[in-house]
Structure 1
């Protein structure tokens, strides 16, 4: 094989994937972006307009929806970190047999539709559901808790949906960890908390960062769970986009909401990633 063919081989191998990405990702995104800059004129023809972006940034109603969306994403991400990091650490310490069983339990929810899982949570969180029934029988509450159509209910369901992604990301990072470093630290007299803080956690930070960004982005763009558990009372950006595009048929405003959400998630992810990496270098 001559040098020119050898140099062109990687481009040929990646061409099919690049064409698929261009056709099904890049072009739809560009069409969505272009749609957000146009609104019907008086005669019905499309005309360039920034009015929809003015509404997104200037209307307190939409600002509140974005604030609620990012608050939900941040809370779900933090809870997933608290649950997922210890779980991933335990997985690395299990025997191969029990690790396989535990991984199946962790990944099991991903094998069914998110709609099915969310409907299951709707049954559990209802006023007459299993959660309230158990709390009442245990005497922990005097009346059923209001969990459906609330922020708390959406957080509970979203954590169940997103925590496997955090566990997988952290577990992948911890797989590269050399167990001999922990044993050496313990031999030198380091306590268990010191080993976790100075040896285990620094090596888990890349997984925590990648898992956190994945969970944050997926939560911010989630539609099914907020729509079913939150209903009409707890609107987030994805459900607002759905309403504007399919209910009100206001495509320019709906696409503008989607573009602002995508840009905001991208900027927040990049900013958090750089901040964590900078702090990681300074501390460790």
Structure 2
């Protein structure tokens, strides 16, 4: 009986573990192996192993510029989502029903629409003949070029990723007793001081979770950079797609994908360690 009880936890987690191994770990291992295969444009993938693809990526300014653009736009999207999403979550936490449910539905609602549909919507708004430029011309102003620029990519990414920042921060605020903030006011603290000394340390872990989600999803985004960035303004995901589907150089595409994955993991783990250390110091 004791042996059966000891096996029960393993039997319960084994289906999920096998699913994780089959859908995540095994394809990742195969991608790593593929990235070391040699490639010839005339005969395709070779059975020999090489480091040429990684050396090509790290020595070519074109690939490095794409990586830098990907990380820069992902970081900028994360920063804007944090600046906009944290106050939005704070206001949402202070609302009472039924307004809280209504605004929560408004925040989550865009997630029910396909990313491709939203990207096409932004292309219609930001295009040369879009509603934004039509409004500027109606006001007597000259039209601006936003479509196929980094600005358009960031705008659309913020629109898509904002709920992933608001929900974790709002969840963290639900655990904070509002009377603690009121007690700080009664002791003479200003509203800004109460937010900085009481609320912000409590929601820092929620902002950490949201930032990690937003950064990871933004750095690996494909539909929005592909539709709003055009063929010249590429990010890492569109670059991998081109290597696989256009150039048919699967080993190079696999190498790019692995490099992006490793870079994201290093940045996210380092950020996680930094923010958690500061949060523990603030909370004592």
TM-score, normalised via structure 1 length:
0.95
1:135, 1:205 → 2: CA distance? 40
1:151, 1:40 → 2: CA distance? 33
Is 1:104 paired with 2:98? no
- What residue in structure 2 maps to residue 204 of structure 1? 203
- Residue aligned with 1:96, SS: coil
- What residue in structure 2 maps to residue 136 of structure 1? 137
Q: After the TM superposition, which residues 233-272 of structure 1 pair with which residues of structure 2 at under 5 Å, given as runs?
A: 233-272=232-271
Single out whichever of 130-139 and 46-55 deviates more from structure 2: 130-139
Cα distance per residue 1:91-150 (max 9 Å; x no partner): 1111121111001100111001100011000100001111122233234xx321101100
- What residue in structure 2 maps to residue 80 of structure 1? 81
After superposition, the Cα gap between the structure-2 partners of 1:15 and 1:123, relative to the gap in structure 1 and judged at 3 Å, is same
- Residue aligned with 2:271, SS: helix
| Per-residue deviation, 1:43 | 7.6
- What residue in structure 2 maps to residue 36 of structure 1? 35
- Residue aligned with 2:48, SS: strand
Cα distance per residue 1:250-280 (max 9 Å; x no partner): 0110000000000000000001111122233
| Per-residue deviation, 1:167 | 0.3
1:135, 1:4 → 2: CA distance? 74
Is 1:148 paired with 2:147? yes
Is 1:118 paired with 2:111? no
Single out whichever of 167-176 and 221-230 deviates more from structure 2: 167-176
Q: CA RMSD in A?
A: 1.4
- What residue in structure 2 maps to residue 232 of structure 1? 231
2:43, 2:142 → 1: CA distance? 58
Is 1:190 paired with 2:199? no
1:54, 1:201 → 2: CA distance? 44
Assess if the C-alpha contact under 8 Å between 2:57 and 2:256 holds in 1: yes
Cα distance per residue 1:144-179 (max 9 Å; x no partner): 110110000110011000000000111111111111
Assess if the C-alpha contact under 8 Å between 2:205 and 2:279 holds in 1: no
Q: After the TM superposition, which residues 1-16 of structure 1 pair with which residues of structure 2 at under 5 Å, given as runs?
A: 2-16=1-15
- What residue in structure 1 maps to residue 62 of structure 2? 61
- What residue in structure 2 maps to residue 169 of structure 1? 168
Cα distance per residue 1:178-222 (max 9 Å; x no partner): 112112111111111111000111111001111001100000000
- Residue aligned with 1:83, SS: helix
Q: Which runs of 5+ in 1 are unaligned?
A: none
| Per-residue deviation, 1:283 | 4.6
Assess if the C-alpha contact under 8 Å between 2:37 and 2:49 holds in 1: yes
- What residue in structure 1 maps to residue 277 of structure 2? 278
Cα distance per residue 1:9-64 (max 9 Å; x no partner): 12111111111111111111110010001113698642100000001111111000
How many residues are treated as equivalent by the alignment?
A: 281
Q: Which runs of 5+ in 2 are unaligned?
A: none
- Residue aligned with 2:38, SS: strand
Assess if the C-alpha contact under 8 Å between 2:127 and 2:147 holds in 1: yes
TM-score, normalised via structure 2 length:
0.95
